[in-house]
Structure formats: structure tokens, C-alpha cells
Amino acid sequence: MGKKKATTDGPSSSSRQCTITGVFSRQTKYKQDSAKWCALTDSVVRLIAKEMLPFSIVEKPAFRRMLQTFDSQYELPGRTYVSQTAIPQLYNSIKDDILNEIKDIQFFSATTDMWSSSNMTPYMSLTIHYISVDWSLHSKCLETRYVPDNHTADTLGENLKSAVADWGLDEHKLVCITTDNGANIVAAIRDLGWPWLNCFGHNLHLAVSHGLDSNKDRTARAIGLCKGLVNTFNLSWLKRRDLRKAQSEANLPQHSLILVSGV
């Protein structure tokens, strides 16, 4: 009889060691003051800020599961920490970088506008534009501030002057500030004594709107024909297929026809 070859049915010592090590590493979380935890949290916070995601994303099970898959030792902080600690820290860090960058600029121009959010909350945004020492053009939105008071010339002027001062800018280095033609903002700039330039885009919009309004019947007919054409393609997959084929044969981008609401 031949000798039987010895076999083992259980896991090898090396595999048992890997399993034990893996379980231990999964149970050991990064400390919140560790470099790894701070780096991972910074990446999450920058994602939220850059993509304007809601703070509640850190509470979504799928998002938390994804991060656990990437690194099981990382424990994502909660919504309160992100909104009250991490985001303010990121803001202050970026603000310090910008302050350091713009402190030595020789001249700058600015643009500002009043706008309302979807829930009709009023804001004022301020953006500056300047050329650096290496002749590169830069544009930076410095801030968007809440303006709950009546938007009088005095209120707008005070907020603009305060914003410029908060960022350490010398208003005497302001070449010009561009706004729309709103009476109050124009009066505010005039009272501040700042050089003013009206917005070309706003003027162009007014000119086009005036031209369309003066020919309402023709404009409405043209828009109606375009809407009908778009609807014809949107309601038929055969026509959309033929459109893509024609675009391909003409070496054109395969764009879809869309209907803009409110037009």
C-alpha cells in the first residue's frame, strides 16, 4: 500500500493570522487627532463645500458604508461636527490663504450683485478681479453676505465698504466696480465715490428683451414653432434615433433637443 498524503482541512496559521489582524485593524479606529483621520475628514469636508452638498450627507447610510469600504478604520464625524467645526475651520484656512495672496496686489476691480436664494433669502456677493505679478488674471468671490435690511443706497454702501475692509483691501486701489443698473446700487457706488461701470451682460439682456417685446407676435410665433419641433422629437424615439444618425453622418455632436421652461 502506498503512503497517504497528509492533508489539513482547517485554515493555515498564516490565514488565521491575516484574519485576526484584519479583525483587529477593523476594530481599531483612527483617533480624531491623528494625521490620517484629519486628512480623510478634510477630503470629505472639501467635497461637501466644493459640490455644495447638504451636511446631512454624512448621515446617509450609503455614504457612510462607502467610506467604510474605502477605509474601515475611519469613523466619519456627525453632521454637527461638520457644520459647526469642520466647515468653519476650512473657511478660515482658505480665507487666510486668500488674504495672504491679495495683500500685495497693486490694483483690483470688483463686481457685486444682490440676489435671492430659492427661499427668497437676500444676499450680496462680492468678487474681485486682479492681475498677479506673473501677469495671470485672477477672479475670487470673497464673500456672500446676508443682507436682511431694506436695500437702500446707504445699506448697500455700508455692506460694500465693510466687505472691502474685512478683506484688507485698500479702496483707493479699486479701478472700478461693475454692477447692474439698479437705482439703489448705483446710488450706493456714487455715494462711496468709487469708479463705476455698468454691466454689459445686463445691458445686453435689456436690449434683447426690448427687441423681443417690440415684436411680441412674431417672437411668440417663432417660439411656438420651436417648441412644436422639440416636442415632436421628444415624443418619438424613432425621430430621436434619426436625429442622432443625421448628427453622426454630419460629424456633429450628438446633442438632444431640450425645451427650456418659461420660454
**Interaxial angle between packed helices 35-50 and 87-102, expressed in degrees from 0 to 180 and rounded to the nearest 10:** 80
> Mind giving me the DSSP string for 184-240?
HHHHHHHHHT--EEE-HHHHHHHHHHHHHHTTHHHHHHHHHHHHHHHHHHHT-HHHH
Q: Is residue 3 part of a domain?
A: no
CA distance 111 to 44: 31
Q: Taking residues 215-222, report their average pLDDT.
A: 88
Q: Does the global pTM surpass 0.75?
A: no
The answer on 39 and 126 residing in a single domain is no
In this structure, is residue 163 part of a structural domain? yes
Of 211, 160, 153, residue with least CA distance to 186: 153
Specify if 64 maps to a domain: yes
Report percent pLDDT > 70 for the chain: 89
Q: What is the pLDDT of residues 226-253, one digit of tens each?
A: 999 999 998 999 999 999 999 999 999 9
| Helix 183-192 / helix 153-166 crossing angle, nearest 10 deg | 60
| pLDDT recorded at residue 219 | 86
Q: What is the DSSP string of 14-54?
A: HHHHHHHHHHHHHHSPPPTTSHHHHHHHHHHHHHHHHTT--
Q: Which residues, including other chains, have CB under 8 Å from residue 203's CB and lie 6 or more apart?
A: 181
Same domain, 181 and 260: no
Question: What are the residues whose beta carbons fall under 8 Å from the beta carbon of 114, sequence distance 6 or more?
Answer: 122, 123, 124, 147, 151, 156, 182, 185
CATH number at residue 167: 3.30.420
Are 109 and 161 part of one and the same domain? yes
Does 145 lie in the same domain as 87? no
pLDDT in tens, 151-163: 999 999 999 999 9
Q: So what's the pLDDT on residue 211?
A: 87
Query: What total number of domains does the chain contain?
Result: 3
**Chain-wide mean pLDDT for the chain?**
89
Res 262 pLDDT > 90? no
Is residue 122 domain-shared with residue 150, that is, in the same domain? yes
* 85/113 same-domain check: no
pLDDT category at 16 given cuts 50, 70, 90 is low
Q: Which domain holds residue 26?
A: 20-98
Indicate the pairing of strand 196-198 with strand 137-146: unpaired
Beta carbons within 8 Å of 254's beta carbon, 6+ residues apart: 244, 247, 248
Q: Has residue 18 got a pLDDT over 70?
A: no
Tell me if 217 is assigned to some domain. no
Q: Identify whether residues 82 and 120 lie together within a single domain.
A: no
